Amino acid sequence: MLAVVAATGLSACGSSADPNVLRVGTEGTYKPFSFQGSDGKLTGYDVEVVEAVAAKLGKKVEFVQTPWDAIFAGLESKRFDLIANQVSVSDERKAKYAMSRPYTTSEGVIVTRADNTSINSLSDLKGKTCAQTATSNWGKIAADAGAKVEVVADFGPAVQLLKQGRVDATVNDSLAVAEYTKTTGDTSIKSSAKIGHTSQQAMAARKDDPLIGEVDKALDQLRAEGALAKISEKYFGTDVSK
């Protein structure tokens, strides 16, 4: 059982005092991980994984839909207890937050317009303009490669800027890009190169929150039972939870 709460107008008094409720921050706009289904309900790989985790913990889920660039601030201000939104594991994040065991492994790709032949590797991004969310791991990779970053809210606006010719590329998760291509049939863009970077994604809680230990135990159980693989197969046709 779940509820969806919009981020706007949330009380700043903190996460739910009800020990039987797990409040989870997620975008709700990042298909196939967290998005609105045809029935208007929140669904996706991350949504189903965290629902399965909550079931193991004997808790109900309340999702708090939050833009990516505000999601860590929401966690810190206790608007929710956990982030489930393809949070890439990095040393910087591990130093600041409690990170669960990874439940997704994927690789990054560079997306360009279909007629672009000048970008074929990460080094080709030097001097180019990439549309990226401000705080994403992919944005940092693009910036470190020498690209100028045009800040966008999420992958959708990045693709629109790319198609309009206002940016040269965007770097994102290969799974999200594949889902976009499959869903839209858009042939005006392409994955022009892999970036040679494999990323692991996990859930994030506040530093030293014992909740993350409970989440890890639940993920271990779900992995051992084959439940994570089953959810992954549903969305990707393969097991990306390893």
Residue 14: its pLDDT value, please? 47
Helix (H/G/I), strand (E/B), else coil: 118: coil
Domain boundaries, given as residue ranges, for the chain: 2-104+201-236, 105-198
Supply angle C-alpha 182, 187, 189, rounded to 5: 100
Q: Please give the structure tokens belonging to residue 200.
A: 């692991």
Q: What is the pLDDT of residue 198?
A: 87
Give yes or no for residue 26 having a pLDDT over 60: yes
Residue 197 pLDDT? 83
| 176-224 confidence digits (pLDDT tens) | 999 999 999 999 999 999 998 888 999 999 999 999 999 999 999 999 9
Q: Which residue has the tokens 């590329």?
A: 169
What does pLDDT average to over the chain? 93
Q: Which residues pair with 109 in a beta bridge?
A: 172, 194
Helix (H, G, I), strand (E, B) or coil at 120: coil
pLDDT of residue 13: 40
Burial 192-216 (b: 16+ CB within 10 A, else e): bbebeeebbbbbbbbeebebbebbb
Say if residue 8's pLDDT is above 90.
no
Q: What is the DSSP string of 38-105?
A: TTS-EESHHHHHHHHHHHHHT-EEEEEE--HHHHHHHHHTTS-SEEEEEEE--HHHHHHEEE----EE
For 2-104+201-236, give the CATH class.
alpha beta
As a whole number of angstroms, the distance between CA 152 and CA 6 comes to: 20
Q: Are strands 104-113 and 189-206 parallel, antiparallel or unpaired?
A: antiparallel
Q: Which residues pair with 25 in a beta bridge?
A: 64, 83
Q: How many CB atoms lie within 10 A of CB 101?
A: 16
Give the range with max mean pLDDT: 8-12, 63-67, 179-183: 63-67
Task: Give, as one character, the DSSP assignment of residue 232.
Answer: H
CA torsion sign for 68, 74, 76, 80 is: negative
Confidence (pLDDT) at 9: 35
pLDDT higher than threshold 60 for residue 96: yes
Residue 24's contacts (CB-CB under 8 Å, 6 or more residues apart) are 50, 54, 61, 62, 63, 64, 80, 81, 82, 83, 84
State yes or no: pLDDT of 10 exceeds 50.
Answer: no
Whether the per-residue pLDDT at 140 is higher than 70: the answer is yes
pLDDT for position 16? 56
pLDDT at residue 230 greater than cutoff 80: yes
Mean pLDDT of 77-88: 97
* pLDDT per position as a tens digit, 165-179: 999 999 999 999 999
Residue 4 identity (one-letter amino acid)? V
Q: Topology of 105-198 in CATH?
A: D-Maltodextrin-Binding Protein; domain 2 (3.40.190)
Cα–Cα dist 122/143, whole Å: 11
Specify the 3-state DSSP secondary structure of 172.
Answer: strand
* Total-model pTM: 0.82
pLDDT at 228: 98
Residue 67 CA to residue 182 CA, distance in Å, equals 24
